[in-house]
């Protein structure tokens, strides 16, 4: 972790800590809560995530559960557009559509309200971490089922060894990341 005097010239990666063997043995968890907790680091991350989309029409920002909500809300606010959460099964109160997927260490189902995205809306998908790409792929499928047009997927961290970026790019998605980490 950086000392406060070092943070003036830091990059986003410098604010992210690694937790060994969380949530399972052998996993190197890249913890962005330290980035979120630092006002300069958090502002830097949001500004850098927004930069590639200057001048591009975005109607909605979709955040993937759960840290994508923090990023997505801040980005939607900066763009003055709506925010839409994609949540784990059973967490949204209204009528939803769902998509199952595999993640780095298990399986899950995500959902979106069936009226959250209108056909033709331009959507930016955001999350903190791109690993296998399973969560993002499921989110993309939900958005596309509602008729949304995904302009890009933006992440703070990419774990290139897990192939998520390639998976999304093979689906025709534009992918933007702020930093990469080796390993799982």
Per-residue pLDDT of the chain (184 residues; tens, 9 = 90+): 444 444 455 899 999 999 999 988 988 999 999 999 999 999 999 999 999 999 999 999 999 999 999 999 999 999 999 999 999 999 999 999 999 998 656 689 999 999 999 999 999 999 999 999 999 999 999 999 999 999 999 999 999 999 999 999 999 999 999 999 997 6
Question: 56-180 in CATH: which number?
Answer: 3.40.50.2020
* Distance between CA atoms of residues 16 and 112, nearest Å: 29
Domain ranges of the chain: 56-180
Question: Catalytic residues, which ones?
Answer: 67, 104
- Start-end of H helices in the chain: 33-37, 39-50, 67-79, 134-145, 164-170
> Token pair for residue 158?
């990419």
Instruction: Give the number of other Cβ atoms within 10 Å of residue 24's Cβ.
Output: 11
């Amino acid at each position: 972790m950086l000392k406060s005097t070092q943070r003036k010239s830091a990059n986003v990666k410098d604010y992210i800590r690694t937790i060994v063997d969380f949530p399972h043995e052998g996993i190197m968890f890249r913890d962005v809560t330290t980035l979120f907790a630092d006002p300069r680091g958090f502002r830097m991350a949001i500004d850098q995530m927004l930069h590639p989309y200057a001048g591009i029409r975005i109607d909605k920002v979709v955040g993937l559960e759960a840290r994508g909500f923090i990023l997505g809300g801040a980005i939607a606010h900066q763009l003055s557009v709506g925010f839409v959460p994609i949540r784990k099964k059973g967490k949204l109160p209204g009528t939803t559509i769902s998509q199952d997927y595999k993640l780095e260490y298990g399986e899950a189902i995500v959902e979106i309200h069936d009226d959250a995205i209108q056909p033709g809306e331009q959507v930016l998908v955001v999350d903190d971490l791109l690993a296998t790409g399973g969560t993002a792929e499921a989110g993309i499928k939900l958005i596309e089922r509602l008729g949304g047009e995904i302009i890009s997927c933006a992440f703070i961290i990419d774990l290139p060894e897990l192939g998520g970026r390639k998976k999304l790019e093979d689906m025709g998605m534009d992918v933007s990341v702020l930093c990469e980490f080796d390993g799982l």
